[in-house]
């Protein structure tokens, strides 16, 4: 990208797409380190995850903790709010005051959810973990050491090529990669016939298989995303490394029919914003309003 930038900034920006794809793949390797799936040694997993976290702008130890909470309570209506995309039920949304309804609508707007939100999360929120004061020193230590690693990498590059070229190259990669990552996380759980339940009816196995998608992407995208589209299997057994997930699908073909959505079908998940506990499916704001009128 730096070489092409001297010819044309547009050529450099064009290369930001595959470069962001490589950042997403790095994040998936870091993700597997967080699950203890990449190496037999816990220490090797953690240190590899911390180093990769510098490249993906993610404080590894802090992220690993919140992601573990996501896996422990995925699909559980009584354990929302940690490592998840915020989601309200139709009844909860109806009980909100107008200002709170507007806030939730803005939060769920695609421009915020897949544009402003990912940029804020990776560029700003991951730099200072405000809101994690009750979790002890770990979130701050994880974040500050990640920031230090970023400074050690970025300072020599800025010195060699200048701040302008550095931002021209690095910022688009970060923004595209962050949006792609949040999109993947969204579509892997926010689909019409997903699974949500309250305790004591909630089941981890049911949430894993029926509350996560099999995002059947074209093979090049599967490679860039580290097969994370095989998400129902990943939630069922998170210790399976990403490069073994296709083997599971090959050996158990019955899994291919559970929660499968294509790239085109996934676009239809964007308007789904509220969980209808009676119909047991995600609905849009408009769909919820029509149901209440009826």
The DSSP result for 255-275, as a single string, is GGGSSEE-HHHHHTTTT--EE
**HSE on the CB side for 169, CA within 13 Å?**
15
For residue 294, the model assigns a pLDDT of 54
Give the position of tokens 């070229």: 165
Give the position of tokens 């699909």: 75
Cα separations in angstroms, 112 against 119, 120, 176, 187, 257: 9, 10, 14, 15, 32
Give the position of tokens 């404080």: 59
Residue 39 pLDDT more than 60? yes
Q: How confident is the model at residue 14 (pLDDT cuts 50, 70, 90)?
A: very high
Query: What are residue 274's DSSP bridge partners?
Result: 88, 283
- Going by their DSSP bridges, the two strands 88-89 and 274-276 should be labelled as parallel
Quote the number of domains for the chain.
Answer: 1
Cα separations in angstroms, 100 against 106, 258, 280: 10, 35, 24
Q: Which residue has the higher pLDDT, 101 or 287?
A: 101
Residue range of the domain that includes 23: 2-293
Among 125-139, 224-238, 254-268, the least confident range: 125-139
Q: Residue 20's closest CA among 172, 219, 125, 188?
A: 172
Q: How confident is the model at residue 101 (pLDDT cuts 50, 70, 90)?
A: very high
Among 73-87, 145-159, 165-179, 185-199, the least confident range: 73-87
Portion of the chain with pLDDT greater than 90, in percent: 85
C-beta of residue 285 within 8 angstroms of C-beta of residue 274: yes
pLDDT average, residue stretch 88-105 = 96
Among 46-55, 77-86, 118-127, the least confident range: 77-86
Question: Using CA atoms, how far apart are residues 62 and 229, in angstroms rounded to an integer?
Answer: 24
For residue 8, the model assigns a pLDDT of 87
Q: How confident is the model at residue 288 (pLDDT cuts 50, 70, 90)?
A: confident
Query: What are residue 261's DSSP bridge partners?
Result: 215
Instruction: State the DSSP code for 148.
Output: H
Q: Considering the entire predicted model, what is its pTM?
A: 0.93
Task: Report the chain's mean pLDDT, rounded to a whole number.
Answer: 94
Question: Using CA atoms, how far apart are residues 259 and 176, in angstroms rounded to an integer?
Answer: 26
């Amino acid at each position: 990208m730096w070489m092409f930038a001297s010819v044309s900034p547009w050529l450099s920006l064009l290369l930001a797409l595959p470069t962001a794809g490589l950042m997403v793949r790095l994040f998936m390797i870091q993700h597997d380190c967080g699950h203890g799936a990449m190496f037999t040694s816990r220490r090797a997993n953690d240190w590899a995850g911390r180093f990769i976290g510098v490249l993906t702008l993610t404080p590894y130890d802090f992220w690993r903790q919140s992601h573990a909470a996501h896996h422990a309570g995925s699909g559980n209506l009584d354990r929302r709010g940690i490592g998840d995309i915020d989601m309200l039920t139709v009844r909860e949304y109806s009980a909100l005051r107008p200002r709170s309804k507007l806030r939730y609508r803005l939060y769920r707007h695609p421009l915020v959810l897949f544009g402003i939100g990912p940029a804020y999360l990776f560029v700003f929120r991951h730099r200072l973990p405000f809101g994690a004061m009750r979790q002890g020193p770990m979130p701050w230590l994880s974040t500050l050491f990640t920031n230090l690693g970023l400074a050690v990498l970025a300072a020599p590059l800025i010195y060699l090529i200048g701040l302008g070229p550095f931002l021209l190259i690095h910022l688009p990669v970060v923004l595209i990669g962050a949006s792609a990552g949040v999109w993947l996380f969204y579509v892997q759980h926010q689909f019409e016939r997903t699974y949500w339940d309250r305790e004591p009816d909630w089941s981890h196995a049911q949430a894993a298989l029926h509350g996560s998608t099999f995002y059947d992407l074209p093979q090049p995208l599967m490679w860039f995303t580290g097969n994370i589209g095989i998400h129902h299997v990943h939630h069922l057994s998170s210790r399976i490394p990403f490069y073994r997930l296709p083997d599971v699908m090959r050996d158990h073909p019955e899994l291919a029919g559970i929660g499968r959505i294509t790239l085109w079908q996934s676009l239809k998940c964007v308007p789904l914003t509220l969980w209808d506990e009676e119909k047991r499916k995600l609905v849009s704001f408009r769909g919820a309003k029509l149901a209440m009128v009826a």
